[in-house]
Copies of this chain bind each other. A is one copy, B any other.
Amino acid sequence: MYTTKEIQDIVNQKFSEINWAVEPLGLYAPIGYVLALGGKRLRPVLVLMAANLFAENLKPAINPAIGLEIFHNFTLLHDDIMDKAPVRRKQPTVHVKWNESTAILSGDAMLIKAYQYIAELLPDKLAAGLELFSHTALEVCEGQQYDMDFEQRSDVSINEYLEMIRLKTAVLLGAAVRLGALIGGADEENAKRLYNFGVNLGLAFQLKDDLLDVYGNAETFGKQTGGDILCNKKTFLLITALKNATPAQQKEFEYWLSPEGGKEPEKKIKAVTELYNQTNAKTACEAKMDEYFQLAIRKLAEVDLPNERKRNLFDLAEKLSYREV
């Protein structure tokens, strides 16, 4: 079996080999720029790790894995336009570095390229792999739609929030694992268990993201903490805090969430973080995250293979859920 590091190297090597400096440059250069921003390449790594559970030859999984990562980066590119985000990974976003039309069009080209890479699936896996990908891609769009809808509402429930992050973030991790299993030759039962492992891991991963944004160490995290707080993002923490808040705490929240409360960012972050602590939102979020992590682990344990074979995936799941960054 390949180590996780060997798989990461295979993925990174493959990306470094793609030449995006082709005409028209205005279309393809931004794609190279986005992919060069780096990242953990979590999704293609999951594809290969899952394939490796069932097969030694990872070749059939490589291009489809690349396709999934190109798709993921396409969603980030378009999301950044919709969110009006100025930076990503400390670099200017494409609509800032170039312009909005470029960001839209290069994103469209990325989605098409993603399909080209996924269509490299061998004939016996092609139809099923495509349907898994298309179905998942639509769910990601649905998640983004709900995320945008929620900005206009003040009554978003915890369950609605969890469903939104399931669609927006988690299903893609599930699809990555399931795609790898499909390519490796897993039977339907194991493929389903692995899908559920991936989705639950994704939910834990996103809740960890919500926590790190507030409680992360600014140095290791690589970006200013409190970003979600400043833009009143309806995270698990905020929704839970509002639900648990006493009348006095609700009044405090009303102030900090108002335009007036946004005038002193550092004070706002400090105050809201303290409210998250007092209302047990932090504790609840950590508990929920742990619940999904445990669910993920259970699903992986149910997969019909010796534990040694699943060791790398168990380790990766733990690393993602209990990371500091």
Question: Which residues in A have some Cβ–Cβ distance to B below 8 Å?
Answer: 23-24, 26-27, 78, 81-82, 100-101, 104-105, 107-109, 111-113, 115-116, 119, 123, 126-127, 130-131, 134, 137-138, 141-142, 144-146, 148-149
A115-B115, A119-B131, A126-B126 known; A108-B78 Cβ under 8 A = yes
* A146 contact set on B, CB distance < 8 A: 24
The reply to whether A130 and B112 contact each other, CB–CB distance below 8 Å, is: no
What 8 A-B pairs have minimum CB-CB distances, sorted nearest first?
A27-B145, A82-B101, A24-B145, A109-B141, A112-B137, A116-B134, A119-B130, A26-B145
Within the complex, which residue of B23, B134, B144 is in contact with A115, where a contact is CB–CB below 8 Å? B134
- B26, B82, B126: the one contacting A149 at CB < 8 Å is B26
Instruction: Identify 30 residue pairs between A and B in the complex whose beta-carbon atoms are under 8 Å apart, listed by A's number.
Output: A23-B142, A24-B142, A24-B145, A24-B146, A24-B149, A26-B148, A26-B149, A27-B141, A78-B104, A78-B108, A81-B101, A82-B100, A82-B101, A82-B104, A82-B105, A101-B148, A105-B144, A107-B108, A109-B138, A109-B141, A112-B134, A112-B138, A113-B138, A115-B115, A116-B131, A116-B134, A119-B127, A119-B130, A123-B126, A126-B126
Bound together, the chains give a CA A23 to CA B123 distance in angstroms of: 33
Secondary structure of the A contact surface, majority rule: helix
Give CA–CA (A111, B130) in the complex, Å: 14
A107: chain B residues within 8 A (beta carbon):
108
Q: How far is the CA of A126 from the CA of B122 in the complex (A)?
A: 12
**Which residues from B are CB-within-8-Å of A141?**
27, 105, 108-109, 112
- For A127, give its contact among B27, B112, B113, B123 (CB under 8 Å): B123
Residues of B within 8 A of A115 (CB): 115, 130, 134
Chain B residue at minimal CB-CB distance from A84: B101
Query: Is A145's CB under 8 angstroms from B111's CB?
Result: no
Q: How far does the Cβ of A269 sit from chain B's closest Cβ, in whole Å?
A: 27
* B-chain residues with CB within 8 Å of residue A112 when the two chains form the complex: 111, 134, 137-138, 141
In the bound complex, CA of A297 to CA of B26 (Å): 35
Report Cα–Cα, A101/B145, bound state, in Å: 9
Closest to A152 in B: B26
Report the minimal beta-carbon distance from A76 to chain B, rounded to whole angstroms. 13
Q: Please give me the residue from chain B that is nearest to A81 by CB atom.
A: B104
Closest CB-CB distance, A224 to chain B, in whole Å?
25
